[in-house]
Amino acid sequence: MEQMYEITKDVPIPMPIKRHNYPYEQMQVGESFWVTGVKMQALCNANRRQSKKLGRTFVCRRENDGVRVWRTA
């Protein structure tokens, strides 16, 4: 049995969802920010993406019940 699909025009593509807006661009060397409710691996991945994008270096470490991110270079 052949399935039928309705073809439509002029339906805009939704904007991508940006989950977090961390202050990577505003950070100076030695500054940090602290986040709760985020998995360590997700934050490390964000650090890697921003490092490539901005040409800077970021490090994250567990701290109490959250994660802290430092700009190191």
To the question of pTM greater than 0.85 for the whole model, the response is no
Please tell me the predicted confidence (pLDDT) of residue 46.
94
The 10s digit of each residue's pLDDT in 5-63 is 999 999 999 988 766 789 999 999 999 999 999 899 999 999 999 999 999 999 999 99
Please tell me the predicted confidence (pLDDT) of residue 34.
95
Distance CA 65, CA 11 (A): 43
Residues near 51 by beta carbon (within 8 Å), at least 6 away in sequence: 57, 58
Please tell me the predicted confidence (pLDDT) of residue 2.
82
Asked if residue 20 lies in contact with residue 69, where contact means CB atoms within 8 angstroms, the answer is no
Please tell me the predicted confidence (pLDDT) of residue 20.
76
Asked if residue 36 lies in contact with residue 66, where contact means CB atoms within 8 angstroms, the answer is yes
| Tokens of residue 61, six digits | 């470490």
Distance CA 73, CA 66 (A): 22
